[in-house]
């Protein structure tokens, strides 16, 4: 019996889901919690553009391994919890100096990062935030209510957006399946943040049922084994996508990665994705990588990844992935 399984493992945000709505929600949540939403004065679109397209405010947390946008909301909220910072941002918003408002917020968020990542079991602790306390839970609650429209921030923005048209995404998924690949998703966000958009956008029929690997599996493994942090760039998540939860936990316990026939390709858009794939390969879980340019990655990152023998290519969008897979058909 042929047990060969070819898998295309997709990060979600920046690959087939646009992460911009979640960045927008993080900023809106922080402004709401700091009573600054009225200072935006009808300039939300310009403010969001200044924050995420021009300043890349999202990289404050992303480059430190905080992949959930709940983390971004928590860090921005903590930064605006400083009365002087909030007043400075408010003055600049009222004056219409949006780029300067973003600069002040970014500087304050960066100043929270006082711990080296190696010293912290959870990258969010780098910013002095405990993921398990009431403050973080409150941010998560507000984030979800803003995203779902249950908290009025005074302006609107799209909540669930694909990185391309749905037709282009579906065509790419169908082509990948025709090439003999299963589709799986491996994301640093939590299940509550990820499952519903996939379902609402009608993409779940194309994915292997029950194959979503997310922060919930990482959290569960950390509690079960006492090891951590296990989120990307650790190898746990991509190996979990291939072997399942029990198999990945077994590897954490010292088991050898079993040989699995077939080709596995991970599609990501951030340094943490590529580093997780490198780590998985070092353990013997052979896996190739395709990089999608997005707001989470820089040109320097793209250049360093493209030179790796594990990298099949660097593309601008998911619809450019299928032709690369044709070059590695088993």
pLDDT in tens, 292-321: 987 666 666 667 788 899 999 999 999 999
Least confident of 58-62, 87-91, 274-278: 58-62
Residues 205 and 306 both lie in one domain: yes
Segment 245-282, tens digit of pLDDT? 999 999 999 999 988 788 999 999 888 899 999 999 99
In a domain, 177, yes or no: yes
Instruction: Say if residue 266 is in the same domain as residue 125.
Output: no
Residue 328 pLDDT exceeds 80: no
What proportion of the chain, given as a percentage, has pLDDT over 70? Answer: 94
Please check whether residue 264 is in contact with residue 239, taking contact to mean a CB–CB distance below 8 angstroms: no
Q: Are residues 12 and 28 in the same domain?
A: no
- Report pLDDT for 295: 64
- Which of 116-125, 138-147, 210-219 has the weakest average pLDDT? 116-125
Measured CA to CA, the distance from residue 76 to residue 110 in angstroms comes to: 10
Mean pLDDT value of segment 165-190:
94
45-49, 181-185, 325-329: the lowest-pLDDT one = 325-329
Nearest to 212 by CA among 230, 189, 233: 189
Residue 226 has which token pair? 């006492």
In this structure, is residue 271 part of a structural domain? Answer: yes
In a shared domain, residues 243 and 94: no
Provide the pLDDT for residue 48. Answer: 95
Residue for token digits 């969008």? 317
- pLDDT at site 329: 60
Task: Give the chain's mean pLDDT.
Answer: 89
Q: Which residue has the tokens 């709940």?
A: 70
Q: Are residues 311 and 200 in the same domain?
A: yes
**How far apart, in whole angstroms, are the C-alpha atoms of residue 53 and residue 69?**
16
| Residues 13 and 30 both lie in one domain | no
In the predicted structure, residue 73 carries a pLDDT above the cut 80: yes
pLDDT score at 296: 60
Is there a single domain that holds both residue 95 and residue 13?
Answer: no
Return d(Cα 47, Cα 102) in angstroms, integer: 8
123 DSSP 8-state letter? G
Q: Are residues 174 and 41 in the same domain?
A: no
Q: What is the token pair recorded at 264?
A: 């596995």
* Cβ pair 186, 217 in contact under 8 A: no
**Would 225 be classed as within a structural domain?**
yes
| pLDDT confidence tier of residue 2, bands split at 50, 70 and 90 | very low
CA atoms within 13 A of residue 90's CA, in its CB half-sphere: 15
Q: Which two structure tokens, joined as six digits, stand for 87? A: 């007043």
Q: Does 18 or 87 have the greater pLDDT score?
A: 87
Contact 30, 81 (CB under 8 A): no
| pLDDT for residue 108 | 97
The whole-number pLDDT of residue 130 equals: 87
Residue 330 has pLDDT above 60, yes or no: no
Higher pLDDT, 259 or 241: 241
183-235 pLDDT, tens digit per residue, is 999 998 888 778 888 998 899 999 999 999 998 999 999 999 999 789 888 99
Final residue belonging to a domain, choices 120, 147, 174: 147
The domain boundary, picked from 112, 147, 182, lies at 147
Same domain? 32 vs 13: no
On whether the CB atoms of residues 276 and 238 are closer than 8 A, the answer is yes
Whether 12 and 33 share a structural domain: no
The answer to whether position 317 is within a domain reads: yes
* Cβ–Cβ under 8 Å, residues 231 and 188: yes
CATH number of the domain enclosing 263: 3.40.50.1000
In the chain, the number of structural domains is 2
Please indicate, yes or no, whether residues 264 and 132 belong to a single structural domain of this protein.
no
pTM over 0.85: no
Residue 152 lies in a domain: no
User: Residue 299 falls within a domain, yes or no?
Assistant: yes
Say which DSSP state 186 is in.
B
Q: What domain range is 129 assigned to?
A: 20-147
What pLDDT was estimated at residue 313? 93
Please check whether residues 142 and 200 belong to one and the same domain.
Answer: no
Distance from the Cα of residue 322 to its chain's centroid: 22
Is the predicted pLDDT of residue 121 greater than 70, yes or no? no
Using pLDDT thresholds of 50, 70 and 90, give the confidence band for residue 326: confident
Last residue of a domain, one of 117, 147, 177: 147
In a domain, 157, yes or no: no
**Residue 1 falls inside a structural domain:** no
* Cβ atoms of residues 272 and 218 within 8 Å: no
């Amino acid at each position: 019996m042929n047990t060969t399984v070819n898998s295309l493992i997709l990060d979600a945000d920046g690959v087939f889901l646009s992460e911009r709505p979640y960045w927008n929600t993080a900023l809106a949540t922080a402004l709401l919690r700091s009573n600054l939403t009225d200072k935006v004065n009808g300039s939300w679109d310009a403010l969001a553009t200044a924050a995420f397209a021009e300043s890349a405010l999202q990289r404050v947390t992303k480059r430190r391994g905080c992949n959930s946008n709940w983390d971004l909301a928590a860090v921005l909220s903590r930064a605006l919890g400083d009365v002087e910072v909030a007043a400075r941002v408010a003055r600049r918003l009222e004056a219409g100096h949006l780029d300067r408002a973003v600069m002040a917020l970014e500087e304050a968020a960066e100043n929270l990062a006082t711990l080296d990542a190696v010293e912290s079991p959870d990258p969010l602790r780098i910013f002095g935030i405990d993921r398990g306390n009431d403050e973080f839970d409150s941010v998560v609650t507000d984030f979800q209510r803003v995203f779902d429209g249950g908290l009025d921030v005074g302006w609107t923005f799209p909540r669930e957006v694909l990185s391309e048209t749905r037709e282009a995404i579906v065509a790419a998924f169908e082509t990948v399946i025709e090439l003999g690949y299963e589709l799986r998703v491996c994301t640093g966000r939590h299940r509550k943040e990820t499952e519903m958009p996939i379902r609402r956008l009608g993409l779940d029929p194309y994915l292997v049922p029950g194959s979503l690997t997310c922060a919930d599996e990482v959290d569960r493994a950390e509690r079960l084994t006492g090891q951590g942090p296990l989120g990307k760039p650790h190898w746990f998540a991509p190996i979990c996508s291939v072997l399942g939860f029990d198999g990945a936990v077994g590897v954490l316990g010292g088991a050898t990665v079993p040989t699995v026939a077939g080709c596995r390709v991970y599609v990501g858009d951030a340094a943490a994705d590529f580093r997780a794939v490198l780590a998985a390969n070092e353990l013997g879980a052979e896996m190739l990588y395709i990089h999608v340019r997005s707001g989470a990655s820089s040109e320097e990152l793209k250049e360093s990844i493209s030179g790796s023998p594990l990298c099949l290519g660097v593309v601008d969008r998911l619809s450019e992935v299928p032709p690369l897979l044709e070059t590695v058909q088993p």
